[in-house]
Amino acid sequence: MSQKSEPWIDFSGRICVVTGANGGIGTGLVRAFAALGADIAMIDRVETSGTLEEEVRRAGRKALSLVCDVSDISSVEKAAEQVRSELGGCDILVNNAGLLRPGKLEALDAADWESLIAVNLHGYFHCVQAFGRQMLERKRGALVHVASIAGSQPQAFSGGYSAAKAAVAMMSRQLAFEWGPSGVRSNVVSPGLVRTPLSENFYRTPDVKERREAVVPSRRIGAVEDIADVAVFLASDRAGYVNGQEIVVDGGFSQTLMSHIPRPGYE
Ligand SMILES: NC(=O)c1ccc[n+]([C@@H]2O[C@H](COP(=O)([O-])OP(=O)(O)OC[C@H]3O[C@@H](n4cnc5c(N)ncnc54)[C@H](O)[C@@H]3O)[C@@H](O)[C@H]2O)c1
């Protein structure tokens, strides 16, 4: 074995596209991939303040910030062409842009169902197509989709959220099969509770942070870095034989089902 010390993960010369780059987890993803040498294309429907882009450039990487609505296929195709012409094509896609449209299913406005599916599912597919084709041409690449534990556990009163996340996880497995022979891997990272602008509303209720921490075996709310670390691994050559898998990053929360059963003497 070589004694030479090389970084465990090195994305030098790779181009990573992060969608939802301005959000909580997105910002963490951009920082993590840039720190490991990747040039970054940041995609979001809202324009950045430019600070994150500056941060990436200060780290010595190329940064391209694009306003793009992932639910609009022509907007995504235009962004993909810009990435190709300005950075040279996508090596890693992290599908992450998402939103919430909560409501009880019997009362949910159909427009809320549709707008959630348009971003959280169709948006992921649009990016897979537009950026994945660039990977297929070069016969290498990695897709990482940010799904959720809500994709395997029904999240009540959340409209189409769980359905969209479950569909993303299945799409990823299908991609692993279809694109594996062309050198492109597809995997999922599924966060549990993470405090970001998306979930911030919940934390405005007094005690909710403590109550949430109490139901997580690791006794803390996840940080964006917890998710980014796993996404980085899945996108890297260190996960070169990992394809069609899901890694749940939830501090053990999804393992607590049995604790809901009253079992006198076992508390
Ligand atoms: N925060 C959590 O607890 C949690 C838990 C599980 C899964 N997730 C998932 O992680 C991902 C990121 O969530 P977050 O918590 O960072 O949310 P966030 O709201 O902080 O960030 C989401 C980003 O996506 C962008 N976006 C929304 N619609 C878009 C569109 N049509 N086109 C382009 N960009 C768009 C938003 O502008 C925002 O910058 C989402 O897919 C979410 O479902 C989050």
Which domains can be identified in the chain, with CATH numbers? 15-194+224-245 (3.40.50.720)
Give the distance (Å) from ligand 1 centre to CA of residue 200: 12
Return the pLDDT at 229.
Answer: 98
| Tokens matching residue 149 | 């534990």
13 close to ligand 1 (CB < 6 Angstrom): no
Nearest-CA residue for ligand 1 atom 22 is 23
Return the pLDDT at 120.
Answer: 98
Mean pLDDT score of the chain, rounded to an integer?
Answer: 97
168: Cβ–Cβ under 8 A, 6 or more apart, which residues? 95, 120, 121, 124, 145, 147, 151, 188
203: Cβ–Cβ under 8 A, 6 or more apart, which residues? 195, 209
Return the pLDDT at 170.
Answer: 99
Q: Specify the pairing of strand 39-44 against strand 141-146.
A: unpaired
98 close to ligand 1 (CB < 6 Angstrom): yes
Return the pLDDT at 76.
Answer: 98
Kindly give the number of the ligand 1 atom that is closest to the alpha carbon of 161: 43
Return the pLDDT at 5.
Answer: 78
Give the distance (Å) from ligand 1 centre to CA of residue 2: 41
User: Ligand 1 pocket: which of 145, 155, 196 to mutate (most atoms <8 Å of CB)?
Assistant: 196
- How distant, in Å, are the alpha carbons of 17, 70, 123, 167 from that of 76? 12, 6, 9, 20
Return the pLDDT at 1.
Answer: 47
Return the pLDDT at 3.
Answer: 55
Kindly give the number of the ligand 1 atom that is closest to the alpha carbon of 224: 16
pLDDT under 50: residue ranges of the chain: 1-2
User: Ligand 1 pocket: which of 18, 22, 25, 45 to mutate (most atoms <8 Å of CB)?
Assistant: 25
Whole-angstrom Cα distance, residue 39 to residue 146?
20
- Residue 161: active-site member: yes
- How distant, in Å, are the alpha carbons of 69, 76, 78, 132, 175 from that of 81? 15, 9, 5, 12, 22
